[in-house]
Structures are given as structure tokens and as C-alpha cells.
Amino acid sequence: MQTLIWEPPTPRSPNFPRPRRVEHSRPAAKAAACIAIAALSHCATFTCFGKQGRRRLKQARVQRHVREMAPDVERWSLASQGTPRPEDDPDGQVMAEVTRLWEGLEPKLMYLPREDRLRALSALCVAALAHHGQMRKSGEPYIVHPVAVAELLALLKVQVDVIVGGLLHDTVEDNPTIHFEDLEEIFGPDVRRIVEGETKASKRTALGGRGNWSRRYTSLFSIFFGKQTPSSTSDDVSKAREQAENLRDMFLAMADDYRVILVKLADRLHNMRTLQFMPERKRKTIAAETLVVFAQLAHRLGVWLFKTELEDLSFKHLYPTEFHRLNNLLSMRRAQYTSTLAAATHDFSEILRQDETLTRHNIKLEITGREKGMYSLWEKMRRKTKYQNNIDNIDDIIALRVVLDIDRFEGEGDEEFAKRGAGFCYHALTLMRKLPNWTGGDSLKNYIAFPKPNGYQSLHATFVHDDAPVPLEIQIRTRQMHEVAEYGMAAHWTYKDELRGDGEQHKSKMLSRRVAWLESLADKDGDLRTDAQQFVEEVLRDELGRRCFIFLRDGTILNLSRGCTALDAAFKIHSEVGLHMVHAVINDKEVPPFYQLQNGDRVNIVTSEEAVPQREWLAYAFLRSTRNKLAAYFRRTKK
């Protein structure tokens, strides 16, 4: 005789009892079991055992969940060792694909030691199995995407946990048989934290096929771009509120661990490179989100390596007409730009390499040319009236970067090393100003003495060759400054920092300086927990936007453009305040006039009747109105 008896539901089927067959020798037992099954199957919740019974059922579910997960952990552990189960890779295609992909990835990871590269290889094995058979919209195997993300992260010289997180960032989301617990068991808690945070960010802003993604996301970004108000229709309000919730989750996941941002930026950059395979409506929505959120995140963190390309790809899809028009204008002038850069590279490198001071200190030079990003160029022409929307009026379209590699003395501290490097930068600029056939170099932007908020340091000066009327910006910096300029925040957590053995105090200080604004997001969320849309709008406006709100001593609020200095604030208060400014006190700390203001700064301008403006202030004034007032003063005094 056979019958069915009930046993506690499993976590994977919480609402439906799972039957199993047992033997009964008595018909009465069979009938009793059937009655029990019928009664229990119609109950919404099972409470007849009381509190103790419910606790036992919960324990049984947990134990069953552990038993069911054990084979998965073993499965992915075997895969991480390069020996997947026969049923997972019966024809050897997975491992053959791993071998092919590793040949391209490993050369980019050679800055890591062998043990760390083996960890990355293990992650590639797991990712290849987890994504086996999955395809992208472009028609490529899906595994191509996480490998590309890892390669982008490798450009930043990040630690191995970030590389592993980049390879595994989509595994849990796209494969239901792998869990965060599996990743933690194999790769450790840091990798799990990165993947879990990135998964929260990704599934909130997924790029394809999950519900009405485009319709939901278009609403809020239309509001941000000023094309509609949030009160347009109840449907629009609902969509905007849903997207705001998603973006809030994404920002908080990034704030919890800065490495999540790096993985997310690399993930978005590779997706933007293949955006042409998405439908047009979705392309524009994704490009808008990239421009408003991710390009601004890269800018805020100083990751110029990603920021410029994110902006240019978004520009291409959002404003195709303007993009192609500007591209044609640049193409017409590119031959002239190329010849100017070639002449400058030859002339400036020759005078620097012949200098006895640089030779005696064994300073190596790296000189490269660059062309300004198209979106940045378009924005500059569009927003600043002095350029009259004319590309030929802009003096930094092309630039020559001079990077000085300086050897550190044994036992030399960071401050002494940085000070010595800055001295060599000033020396190189002095040499360049003496070069024949080149004029200019007098108007200096000194970002070494006064770094940008994201840590950027460099000397900027504009030169013009006598035979080619194309302005050329010269940027002089040390190797350490260059890494911060290119990699931003990531430059402070490279593998080289670990090898150098910097103390925990130094690292924690650097972490605090670089991501304090991220940590403040949690406080902002606590204040605005009931209003996700206001939270997102404040983050995009205050942290990633173009406005800066500061408080004067009497409580007055000044609404300035982001990038304004204390000098701009002084002239905004009154022209006489700016003309007699000595210094500023920001948040109870004395700062020079060139200090770049941050949202929420408390500002007090200290003046003196004897104080007069300096001509170099013209190079640091951010607002055109400030420069005009300074220029007018210098014209008056010259007479």
C-alpha cells in the first residue's frame, strides 16, 4: 500500500507542500494521512504546532537549504579549480573558451603577482561556466562582457579583488544556480561585497529586457533634462518614483564600498561601447542616464580614463546631429593639430632632455599628445559666450602632456617627495618658456599649488608656434600626479601601494579624503528616507550636478556654478569685497582665494583696505563676470 504524507516545505517552494511516498500497512493510517494532507494544503499558514512547532519548521527549512546548497558550492569550487564536473563541461568547450580568453586577459594583469593572477583565472573559470550558453544583444558570447570589464579595471591597476569582482559581477544575477554564499566561500567576503553591491546597482539600472525598463527610466530623466514636470500625469509620477527608488539603491550600494563604483563604471563603459545593438528608444534613455549619473560619477572621482569616453558615447547617441557636425569640424582641422603636436613633441622633448639638472637627477620623460573630448568641447562652446560657438576660439583643443618620472630617495616621505617633484615641474616650465619659435606660457594655471577637489594636480600653460596659429596647452606633472589625473580615486588603492607598505593611518586618511562625499550619502538617505525622488535629485544636483550652494556668515545662501572659487564668491557678494580680498575662511579654516568651493561650505571673506588684486587671479577666476571685473580694474590702474 502506498500513500502520500506531508513534510515541511522547502525554501524553493514555500507555498506548496512537497509529497513523498511511504509504505503503510493499515488503511486507517492511509486515510488519516490523506485527511491531514487535504487540511494542510488549504491552510494559508501552518500554525497548528504553535510557537515551538514553527521554530522547528524554520530550522528544518534552514537545514534543507544548507543541504541543497552544498552541491552548488562544490560545483562552483570545482569550476574555480579548472576542473568542472563532467556534466557541466561534457565536450570541454567551457575550458577551451577559458584558455582562449585568458591568453588575452593575462598580459593586462601582469602588474599583479602570480598568486593574484591565479585568483583572477579561477574567477574566469567560474564566470565562463555561469554564463555558458548566454549571448549578448550583439550576438557575442556573454562571457566577452565580464572579461572586457576586467580589462578596463586592469587599466586602473586595481587590486585583484576588484578584478575578480568585475569578472563575476553578473554571475548571481544571470544564473540562479550560483549564490553570493558560493562566491564568499570560494573568493572571500570582499569579493562577495563587491559583486553583491554591483548586482544591486545593475539590476536597478539593467540594460535590457527586464520589464518596461525604458518607459520607467525615461520619466525621471525627462524631468532632470527639464522636458516635463513630475506632475505631468499619475503614470509619469509613478514611473519617476520607481526609478528614483532604483537609483537610490544604486547610490547607497556604491557608497557602502567604493570598489563597487569602479566595477559599475567599467561595466557601463563596455555596455556603452555596444549600445548600437539596442533599440533607439532604449539607446537614448541609457545614454541620458550615463551622461547624468555615470559620467558625473567618473568626473567626481577623477577617473578621466572613463569619464571622457562615457561622455562622448552618450553625446553620440543623444545628440547625433551635433556630434557629427563637430566631428566633421575636427576632422577638417586634424591634420593641422597633428603637425602642431609633432613639432611641439620634438621641440619640447629636445630642450628637456638636454637639460643638465634633469639629466643629473636621472629624471625620465614621457611626452604624449591628446585631443579634447568631443562632449567637453561642445559644452564649452555652447555654455561660454566668449567662444561665440566657434571651435577656433578655444585654446585647449590639443594638449601636450609632459610626465616626469622621478626616483624616490631611500626613506623619503610622501610630502618631501611631492615637494621635490613639484620643483622639477616648475623647472621644466621655465625651460619651455625659453624655447625659440614658441610664444606664450605666461598665463599659468597652477593646479599643483591649488589642486582640484578630485585631487588633480598639474601645471597648465598655453603656447603658440610662430608658424602655426594653433594654441597648444602644455600640461606638466609627475608620474604620481599623472596617475591621479587618469585614474582618480583608484590611483590610491593600486597594488603598488600595498607593496610599498603604506601604513593603515595613511590609507584611512586618503580614503576619508577621497570618498567623504560618498559616505555622506547615507546621512542624506536617513534624512530623506520617505522621499526617494528628492534624495536622487539632491544627489544629482549637489554631488554630481553643476550648481554649488554655500552659506555666508550671516546665513545668506549663494547659488554658484560648480567649480567657483572663493574669489568668485567674494565678487559675487560685492565688487569691493573681491577687489580688497586678503583670503577666505572656509569652514573655520583659512584658505587662499583660489580654493574651489564645495556644496555646504561656510564662507567668510577677509578684506583689507590695503589689499589689491593680483594679475594671476585672472587665471583662477571661474566666472566670466569675475574675470571682467578684474580686467576692468587692471585697465584702470594701468592708466
List active site positions.
173-174
| Residue 350 grid cell | 629636445
d(CA 434, CA 442) in angstroms, rounded, equals 11
To the nearest 10 degrees (0 to 180), the angle between helices 180-187 and 160-168 is: 150
CA distances from 30 to 27, 41, 432 (A): 5, 17, 98
Q: Which residues pair with 439 in a beta bridge?
A: 464
On whether the CB atoms of residues 218 and 484 are closer than 8 A, the answer is: no
Residue 562 dihedral angles phi and psi, to the nearest 5°: -65, 135
Residue among 365, 479, 368 at smallest CA distance from 421:
479
Indicate the helix (H) or strand (E) that contains 346. Answer: helix 320-353
d(CA 107, CA 120) in angstroms, rounded, equals 12
Residue among 458, 335, 447, 487 at smallest CA distance from 400:
458
Name the DSSP class of 140. Answer: S
Residue 330 CB neighbour total at 10 angstroms: 16
On whether the CB atoms of residues 22 and 11 are closer than 8 A, the answer is: no
Residue among 449, 446, 473 at smallest CA distance from 619:
446
- Three-state DSSP string of 204-251: HCCCCCCCCHHHHHHHHHHHHCCCCCCCCCHHHHHHHHHHHHHHHHHH
Parallel/antiparallel/unpaired status of strands 581-586 and 589-591: antiparallel
Residue 453 dihedral angles phi and psi, to the nearest 5°: -55, -30
Q: Which residues pair with 584 in a beta bridge?
A: 591, 605
Residue in the block written with cell 544564473: 175
What is the amino acid identity at position 474?
A: I
Question: What DSSP assignment string belongs to 357-383?
Answer: HHHHTT-EEEEEEEE--HHHHHHHHHH
CA distances from 140 to 128, 131, 174, 219, 502 (A): 13, 12, 16, 31, 42
Helix ranges (DSSP H) in 257-319: 258-273, 280-289, 295-301, 304-318
